[in-house]
A and B are shown apart, each in its own frame.
Chain A
Amino acid sequence: MDVAKQGAARVGDDPLNGIEMAEAGSVTVDTHEAHGHEAHHEQSFWSKYVFSTDHKMIAMQYMFTGIVMALIGGYMSYAFRMQLAFPGQSVPGYGVVSQGEYNALVTNHGTIMIFWVAMPMLIAAFGNFLIPLMIGADDMVFPRINRLSYQIFLISAIVLIASFFVPGGGFGGAWTAYPPLSANAQYNLTPLGATFWIVAVALEFVAFLLGGINFITTLMNSRAPGMKMYDIPMVLWMIVIASILFMASVGPLIAGAVMLFMDQVVGTGFFDPNRGGDPILWQHLFWFFGHPEVYVVLLPAMGIVADIICTFARKKLFNYKLILFTVFATGIISFFVWAHHQFVAGIDPRMANVFTVTTLIISIPIAEMLFLYIATLYGGSIQLTTPMLWALAFIAEFLIGGVTGIFLGASGADIYFHDTYFVLAHFHYTFFPIAIIGFYAGITYWFPKMFGRMMNETLGKIHFWGTIIAFNCIFIPLFILGAAGQHRRIYNFQNFPDLAGLQDMRVFATGALIVMLVFQVVFLVNFVVSLIKGKPAGKNPWNANTLEWTTDSPPPHGNWPDGLPNCYRGPYEYSVPGRKEDYWPQNVPPDTAPAE
């Protein structure tokens, strides 16, 4: 009888679907106009878009803030790469990059890309959007804490940007902020910029702390009836495990941030060796968070890729449980590896040996996960849509990042490679797949659900190939430069006779960067045009199984106004033998024909 009711509701829904879609589209367009259309909404502009407690709106706020910050971070990379390629010349659109500005640009590029792009876009935007929708809940369990989380995040972003406009300019002590350079204004020459920086970072952590509490509690307590632990989509597991890692590791860094702030402002000497302090202490507190942070941003991207490859290979995820336990193992080991960032900092050699071994061990679960993904692809009927291309590119590019990490994890090799462009290229080969490829995979896959319209596939593929090819052209030369001994954080390599001759490669990398940045315009155009006049998506354009595809696109306030769904099976029941359709949504009771 329940089934009959569901069926009836579905039949009743269908004719209305198109109308609702059109309305939804116009509402989406309204967000970009002024306040003129407020009269149509029952909520005012402010309560709907700015002070919303709806998890979908908060996800959008995080995502658009992240995109804006990504543009700022990309612009910074353009400015300092131009300085390296054409030292001393005026950069079009920026001007001459002075030495202090160069430091500030590099520092804030790193800070922005990790804390204000990777974290909000992968964890906060996708976490907020997907967690309630995929577990069949109407919202997060703490909607107001969720709103507070975004507001603190926004303030932190504003503080960071403001640090560029205070006397002395933005902080230039590298994104790792090692004291005594970061603690003493007489060394870093940016008394206010350094303080703004540390305040912004601390606020950002508080924002994600509040968000993390929400994510973990929501996943534990609000799942749809029938959704057991092993029925949760992999992307949610990974976002939540990432949140747990974040919560467990961020405390010591907040402690360090408070101490650094007091060193800067009050004049204490916690990190000042002249006054009995210990600068190595900061490195411990920073990297105790800093290395789990890599897995905090990696895991959501891995989860997004897992969901996408299952949908577009039309296959069950290869060994769901093994992947899950591998993620647990990754999480546990990620607490044992952080001191590999300090092999040359003067830490106890006994500790360096232990951390070498653990660092090499952590590559095992990650490699295992990539193998399991490839096993998922094996024998599937693969559809090379744009999201699938991004997902496959993630696997391939992240593999390069992981393999080059082995060199750096071995403490002997690291003494040579430390702080060269080899390190830089290595972590860009991990962070770029995570933050940028992972985000593009997710946004192209869930765009129809977020905005009710399909993205343009042709533009999507142009954007994909332009970005991927240019990305490899940027960083492969940097591996070679790093192996040749080119040190990071140097303003002008012309002063070094051994390195000045490699200028061609620097120019090539900078050219590739400009090409890549230009191709991002294709994405923005595709995004805006699809938002306005893309093909209406319908409820389930990809024929996927998870619960978010059972509601309207975009989901209305409360997600399922006609009643929350039940869950009857795991999320990856594709190509089940004996069924007419090759997918089997989680909410369809077992003894009925599939709906739609």
Chain B
Amino acid sequence: MGAVAVGSVADLARACPSCASPLEENRQAFVDTTILLTFLPLIMIGGFIWWLRRKARQLESPPQIAVPETLLQDIGPLPKKQ
């Protein structure tokens, strides 16, 4: 709600004549390109790091050793000593 208020009353609160371009399209273009320029590098860097990490995980995951299925099963109560 605060964000909506900030967005809608900003023009009124800032009573300065040069604060707004008369062209609504131009104002919107600045907002759009700001969003593009801000998020594009973050997405690129984030994506690159995520991809590298995934690659690193794949390289680092320990080699799987074949373990006989019997070892993994519950062998039940220990046999009694004789």
Which chain A residues have a beta carbon within 8 Å of chain B's beta carbons?
244, 248-249, 252, 278, 280, 284, 288, 332, 335-336, 339, 346-354, 415
Contacts and interface: CB of A to CB of B under 8 A. Distances in A.
B14 A332 contact: no
A530 to B, nearest CB: 41
Nearest to B17: A346
A284 B30 CA distance: 9
B38 A335 contact: yes
A461 B17 CA distance: 54
A346 B26 CA distance: 12
A349 B45 contact: no
Interface string B17-53: 0111100001100110110011001101100000000
A350 B6 contact: yes
A252 B37 contact: yes
B45 A244 contact: yes
Given A248-B41, A278-B26, A332-B42, A349 B31 contact: no
Given A349-B13, A349-B19, 11 more contacts: A244-B45, A248-B41, A284-B30, A332-B42, A346-B21, A348-B31, A349-B20, A351-B30, A353-B7, A353-B10, A354-B6
A335 B42 contact: yes
A226 B19 CA distance: 56
Nearest to A278: B26
Residue with the highest number of chain B CB atoms closer than 10 Å, among A248, A346, A348? A348
B10 A336 contact: no
Contact of B38 (A278, A336, A350): A336
A347 B44 contact: no
Nearest to B40: A248
A350 B44 contact: no
B19 A346 contact: yes
B38 A353 contact: no
Contacts of A346: 18-21
Interface residues on B, range: 20 to 34
Contacts of B19: 346-349, 352
21 contacts: A248-B45, A252-B37, A284-B33, A284-B34, A284-B37, A335-B38, A346-B20, A347-B19, A347-B30, A348-B19, A348-B30, A349-B11, A349-B13, A349-B19, A350-B6, A350-B11, A351-B30, A351-B31, A352-B10, A352-B14, A353-B6
Contacts of A249: 41
B8 to A, nearest CB: 9
A339 B34 contact: yes
A181 B57 CA distance: 53
Given A249-B41, A332-B42, A335-B42, A350 B34 contact: no
Nearest to B46: A332
Contacts of B33: 284
Contacts of A350: 6-7, 10-11, 31
A252 B26 CA distance: 19
The 7 closest A-B pairs by CB, nearest first: A248-B41, A349-B10, A349-B14, A346-B18, A350-B10, A353-B6, A348-B27
A37 B57 CA distance: 53
Residue with the highest number of chain A CB atoms closer than 10 Å, among B7, B10, B21, B26? B10
Contacts of B7: 350, 353
Nearest to A244: B45
Contacts of A332: 42
Nearest to B5: A353
Contacts of B41: 248-249, 335
B55 to A, nearest CB: 12
Nearest to A331: B45
B59 to A, nearest CB: 13
A352 B37 CA distance: 16
A353 B26 CA distance: 18
Nearest to A229: B56
Contacts of A351: 30-31, 34
Nearest to B41: A248
Contacts of B10: 349-350, 352-353
Contacts of B11: 349-350
Contacts of A335: 38, 41-42
A339 B19 CA distance: 13
A245 to B, nearest CB: 9
A222 to B, nearest CB: 16
A399 B31 CA distance: 33
A288 B37 contact: yes
Contacts of B26: 278
Nearest to B19: A349
